[in-house]
A and B are shown apart, each in its own frame.
Chain A
Amino acid sequence: MADLMDAEDRGQLVLVAGFALAVVLVALVLLANTAIFTENLATRDNGVGEREVLGYRSSAVDGAGGIVDRENAAEYANGERDLLEGNVSDGLAALDSQLRESAGRNAASARADVNAATFTNGSLVRQNGTADDPRQFTNASDDRPDWTVATGLERDGDGNATRAFVAVVTSSSLEPASASDPDDAFHVVVTNGSAAWHAYVYQNASGGIAVGVKSAGEPVSATSEVCSVAASNATVDFTGGSLGGVDCPGLAFGGDVAGSATTDGYDVLVRNGDRAAGGYDLTVRTAGSGSVSTGNVSATPSADEPYRVPAVYAVEFPIEYRTGEVTYAETVRVAPGERDD
């Protein structure tokens, strides 16, 4: 064996040391690469696909809501509730078929069980006025300004009993008033017999269309103007809480009287209906004791009086969405235009 300290063989030592260093570096590279690859894989996770699930759910709920509203607006005759529900079911089945196909293309199985759908009876109350052809918000038979729209509307669990209450009003028809004294202005009252919530719609000092709200149990002087808009006409969404398409946070239909804590049925009344003109739509839940006032609302469609037609208030059906990573199942309740609790 050569003497490594011998100057003559130093080249071998350098060569061996070089090889050793090269091997060490290659090992380090492999280690570093493994760590980087692991880190890369670990951060590649983009969730379990919950966004697709929520997207499917919102498409199903929005689509079903659109079908329900459009079938209701088609104004079926009084004895045709079965036909109405059948057509809503057919629409839901068509929607389910297309959503299922779309989910299938994303390697997911989606199903809305339309056969298990349950319907909640309701009535659509409408008055066909528009901003260009406004009609006063009076009752059907004798044009009284103070009248009852519906009585005994019962909430069901989390669901409310009035939805999609939208009115178009013209500024010129409204009573000039202020939040401190709105009694002469048009207002909608929600009452359970002991407490009453008021929403006033009037022309405020600056000439805009204003909405004032008085909570149950407060004196009329405690009314506060929650929002206003300067326009010749505006859409007041009592249940959606908006004025002229802009969110109006203080406007929550019924306040505590129609809130989730209440178990009593409530009535919806119109006061000073001759101090507002335009048109309106609302859907009320007639399951249980709820009913639309027969004397004040015509039972057949009418050109210039408020009338009612059978409607689907809400529909519930189970949906299910499955991928390799996530299973989501829920019974969704579709009642578009309810107030947010």
Chain B
Amino acid sequence: MRAQAHTLEGFAAAIILLSGVLFALQATAVTPLTASTSNQHIENQQAAVAEGTLAAAEANGTLTPTLLYWNTSGDRFIGSGSDGTYAGGGPPTRFGAALNRTFAADRIAFNVEVSYRTAGGRGRTRMVYMGSPSDNAVAATRTVVLFDDDPVGDGSGTLADVADDPDREFYADDTDGGPLYGVMEVRIVVWRI
């Protein structure tokens, strides 16, 4: 009888011990060095890369032509999918190629959207939409100034020409009577998939 009690106590102690070890392992499952989609270092790095990509595109002048890569008669970005956005990668411009090289090639998803002032508030146009971002997505924004004499990508003339033509439309409207067309805010959201 006593031997049985000892055996049971031994099992009970073992279960407590093992539970402690298991709890310890579970609680430290995500360390800063653990490879995971929610890793903080990855988020920091992605945020820096996103900022850098936008800053470089603005500095070498490839961001503006991408914002102007618009089909004014079809009312969508040139070569975009049925919902007017690019889904499989960046737009077919130099900025889009930079996005693909930087993010898509490393299996990082990204969304790009442009927001701008409208008569009643703010408008937003999606350029690249790869889906709803995860909780660990990071964002970077950059403002780009467009002018009335900037040429639209489909060859139909300048933004001012398009504004004067009732059959054509650009996604943002002219916000100023002078040579300024508008300040566009480009926002890219990146996350690991």
Residue positions of B touching A, CB distance < 8 A: 2, 5-6, 8-10, 12-14, 16-17, 19-21, 23-24, 27-28, 30-32, 40-41, 44, 47-48, 51, 54-55, 58-59, 117, 140-145, 147-149, 175-176, 178-180, 182-183, 185
Contact = CB atoms under 8 A, between A and B. Distances in A.
Contact of A11 (B5, B17, B144, B145): B5
A28 to B, nearest CB: 6
B41 A43 contact: yes
A59 B183 contact: yes
Interface string A231-255: 0000000000000000000000000
A143 interface: no
A33 interface: yes
A70 B147 contact: yes
Interface residues of A, number: 48
Contact of B16 (A22, A52, A90, A99): A22
A295 interface: no
Nearest to B142: A55
Interface in A272-302: none
Q: Which of A28, A29, A52 has the most CB atoms of chain B within a 10 A radius of its CB?
A: A29
B160 to A, nearest CB: 11
A55 B10 contact: no
Contacts of A22: 16-17, 19-20
Contacts of A105: 185
A95 B141 CA distance: 17
Nearest to B5: A11
Contacts of A18: 12-14, 16-17
A25 interface: yes
A59 B144 contact: yes
Contact of B55 (A19, A36, A55, A90): A55
Interface of A: 8, 10-12, 14-15, 17-19, 21-22, 25-26, 28-29, 32-33, 36, 39-40, 43-44, 46, 51-52, 54-56, 58-59, 62-63, 66-67, 70-71, 74, 87, 90-91, 94-95, 98-99, 101-102, 105-106
Contact of B28 (A21, A36, A52): A36
Contact of B23 (A29, A95, A101): A29
B16 A91 contact: no
A14 B117 contact: no
A106 B143 CA distance: 12
24 contacts: A10-B6, A18-B17, A21-B20, A22-B17, A22-B19, A26-B20, A29-B27, A32-B27, A36-B28, A40-B40, A46-B47, A51-B51, A54-B55, A55-B54, A58-B58, A59-B145, A63-B183, A67-B179, A70-B149, A87-B178, A94-B175, A95-B145, A95-B180, A102-B183
A98 B178 contact: no
Given A43-B32, A59-B144, A15 B23 contact: no
Contacts of A71: 178-179
Nearest to A23: B20
A41 to B, nearest CB: 9
Given A46-B48, A56-B143, 5 more contacts: A11-B6, A18-B14, A36-B31, A44-B44, A98-B175
Given A14-B10, A22-B17, A67-B179, A32 B28 contact: yes
Q: Which of A25, A39, A46 has the most CB atoms of chain B within a 10 A radius of its CB?
A: A25
Given A29-B27, A43-B41, A101 B13 contact: no
